[in-house]
Amino acid sequence: MNSFFDLHYAAHILPALLRASLYTVLITMVGFAIALVLGLVLAILRRSHLKPLSRGVGFVVEFIRSTPLLIQVYVLFYVLPVYGITMSALTAGTVGIALHYACYTSEVYRAGLNGVARGQWEAACALSLSPWRTYSGVILPQAIRAVIPALGNYLVAMFKDTPVLSAITVVELMQQAKNIGSETFRYLEPITMAGLFFLLISVTFAQLVRRLEFRLRLP
């Protein structure tokens, strides 16, 4: 017990931590998929010509971006049941983190959309493309390619924010490490390993995004 880092014990708890990290990665994947779609919708709504709509969306995005994820998750998990919407901790957590990051990705998309040259919009207009074809065929392919690195940063950031969900009893990597620690009163190994897992997985995510960026770059 006196050894600095008990490798035997570390090997013993490894399977539980691996399972929990798989869970964490799944939450991240699902949450980020929602955030990617919702963020795009928010970004396009924010460009709407209806002033109240664009202002309203802008305010909501700004509000969510400048308040802590932890409290937003609390709201989803503790306040919504008062109004009759009950979600499991896992659902509330995933939805919460997805909403939070949708606001960040919407800002990223906004920057990408603003970066598309004006002539492209005018050309689409001159060809009398429908709004749908304008976005899907002309604007988005250019806008999204430019912002993939920024989106990738948010994927990693989102992954690193998943431990916040432990506050509403989602058993992800961090919570699992803490549970193991409280069972055996050895916190050094589980929490250090959780930290290492986070480092490894976020580096992997970053690599994947870099590869995607490379694959999608314009010739």
Partner 1 sequence: MRELFPLLLQGTLVTIGIAVCSTLLAIAMAFAATAARLAPWAPLRWIGNVYVEVFRGTSLLVQLFWFFFVLPLPPFHLELAPFTVAIVGLGLHYGAYGSEILRGALRSVPGGQFEAALALNLSPLTRMRRIILPQAMINALPPATNLMIELLKGTSLVSLITLSDLTFRARQLDEATFKTAQIFTLTLVIYFVLAQILVALMRYFERRASHGMSQRTVR
Does residue 166 touch partner 1 according to CB under 8 A? yes
Residue type, 25: V
Closest CA to 146 of 178, 115, 191: 115
Whichever of 5 and 127 has its CB closer to partner 1, that residue is: 5
Cα 142 to Cα 208: distance, rounded to the nearest angstrom: 21
Q: Is 4 in the site for partner 1 (CB under 8 A)?
A: yes
Distance between CA atoms of 168 and 174, rounded to whole angstroms? 13
Cβ of residue 136: shortest distance to partner 1, in angstroms? 31
For position 72 contacting partner 1 by CB under 8 A, the verdict is yes
CA pair distance 98, 86, nearest whole angstrom: 17
Q: Does 9 bind partner 1 (CB under 8 A)?
A: no
Q: How far is CA 86 from CA 56, 62, 78, in A?
A: 26, 26, 9
| CB neighbours of residue 100 within 10 Å | 22
Position among 48, 114, 169, 192 found at the interface with partner 1 (CB under 8 A): 192
**Binding partner 1 by CB under 8 A: which of 14, 50, 75, 85?**
75
How many angstroms separate the Cα of 147 from the Cα of each of 5, 28, 40, 172, 205? Answer: 42, 19, 12, 29, 16
Considering only the stretches 42-50, 117-125, 132-140, 199-207, report the one whose residues sit in contact with partner 1 under the rule CB under 8 A. Answer: 199-207
Task: Judge contact between 139 and 124, C-beta under 8 A.
Answer: yes
| Binding residue (CB under 8 A) for partner 1 from 199, 208, 211, 216 | 199
Please pick, from the candidates 22, 71, 127, 208, the single residue that binds partner 1 as defined by CB under 8 A.
Answer: 71
CA nearest neighbour of 196 among 2, 1, 13: 13
Residue 88 in contact with partner 1, rule: CB under 8 A: no
Q: In the complex with partner 1, which residue's Cβ is closer, 109 or 197?
A: 197
Residue from 130, 131, 145, 187 touching partner 1 (CB under 8 A): that is: 187
Residue 66 interacts with partner 1 (CB under 8 A): yes or no: yes
Q: Which of 2, 7, 49, 118 binds partner 1 (CB under 8 A)?
A: 2
Query: Which tokens in the block code for residue 130?
Result: 């429908």
What is the contact surface with partner 1 in residues (CB under 8 A)?
1-2, 4-5, 63, 65-72, 74-75, 78-79, 82-83, 160-164, 166-167, 174, 177-178, 181, 185-188, 191-192, 194-195, 198-199, 202-203
